Copies of this chain bind each other. A is one copy, B any other.
Amino acid sequence: MAKPVPASLEREERLPSIGFLGLGTMGTAMARNLLKAGYDVTVWNRTTSKCDALVSEGAKRGVTPKQTAAACDITFAMLADPAGAVDVACGEDGAVKGLGQGKGYVDVSTVDGDTSKAICKAVRASGAEFLEAPVSGSKKPAEDGTLIFLTAGDKSLYDKAAPFFDVMGKSRFYLGEVGNGAAMKLVVNMIMGSMMASFSEGLTLGKKVGLDPATIVQVVGQGAIAAPMFALKGPSMIKGSYPPAFALKHQQKDIRLALAMAEDVALPTPVAASVNELYKRAQAAGLGDQDFSAIIEAFELDPKQSNH
């Protein structure tokens, strides 16, 4: 369900035009919410057929990132990985070539701090403003307009983009200089990975001592440690089913990056270090493409078939 255009915007003479680069699952849902809210949206995707549905719903069709950025006030980019984000921004016919004074570029892809800083540099060199804005939340929150934006970069662009964030998400944070958005995401995902490992450890221990895991999930859901994640994933974990929402290998990668970040500031992080080894164990056992809740299997791995 998309949210209505805020009253304050309705009073403006002209709504800013928005570009949207990258129409994967997330990008399509986000662009659609902007469109539903009444904005003037130009969409572009490398595989152009992915634009068809949105165009039929009222979006304009962008020719290249460059042309899209040139045609719009603010351009959003949602790419799958750092290489894609750099290419769409800085490549031949890239967005940067269409940017300039008075325009803004908001990268909502999840990339590392160094990639984000490189794109920022190129965007600012064109005279435009830049914001990194990785999102917390996956497909469903993207469709429901309940994402969380962890933004950093040019504050004035943040203020201008705020109404769009409010259409696509339920909350937004401005975190200061570029790189802080990526750092915040790693911190949150590090905590998430450790929580899932500890929850798995508790479920396994409870089961071994004769408790019903389903009851443990219920008890956990009543008290001070009740987290939506436990309620959401606990029931399927008990059945040994891990439909991938956030792949275990990606969770492990984020913990690894968080550990590297901690090394840089000489901070001991013994919990995450210990948890990381469990995700590695699960990955070595072939569970990398399952949901990260498959970490529970790491507590029950059986010995190799040998002749002891």
Contacts and interface: CB of A to CB of B under 8 A. Distances in A.
A307 to B, nearest CB: 8
Interface centre among A191, A220, A262 (most CB of B within 10 A): A191
Contacts of A209: 183, 187, 261, 264-265
A223 interface: yes
Contacts of A270: 201, 270, 274, 277-278
Interface stretch (A19-27, A56-64, A69-77, A294-302): A294-302
Contact of A211 (B184, B223, B274, B283): B184
Interface stretch (A7-15, A95-103, A155-163, A168-176): A168-176
Nearest to A245: B224
A304 B308 contact: no
Interface stretch (A41-49, A114-122, A226-234): A226-234
A152 to B, nearest CB: 10
A218 interface: yes
Contacts of A274: 270-271, 273-274
Interface string A250-283: 0000001010011111111111111111101101
Contacts of A272: 198, 201
Nearest to A229: B224
Interface string A173-194: 1011100100110011011101
Interface centre among A173, A208, A277, A287 (most CB of B within 10 A): A277
A225 B195 contact: yes
Contacts of A125: none
Interface in A190-225: 190-192, 194-195, 197-199, 201-202, 204-206, 208-212, 215-216, 218-220, 222-225
A195 B290 CA distance: 23
A267 B299 contact: yes
A206 B184 contact: yes
Interface centre among A184, A205, A263 (most CB of B within 10 A): A205
In the complex this chain forms, how many copies of it are found?
4
Contacts of A184: 206, 211, 215-216, 219
A249 to B, nearest CB: 10
Contacts of A281: 268
Contacts of A303: 285-287, 297, 301-302
A284 interface: yes
Interface of A: 136-137, 148, 150, 170-171, 173, 175-177, 180, 183-184, 187-188, 190-192, 194-195, 197-199, 201-202, 204-206, 208-212, 215-216, 218-220, 222-229, 232, 240, 242, 256, 258, 261-278, 280-281, 283-287, 290, 294, 297, 299-306, 308
List 3 A-B pairs, minimum CB-CB distance, nearest first: A285-B303, A194-B198, A274-B274
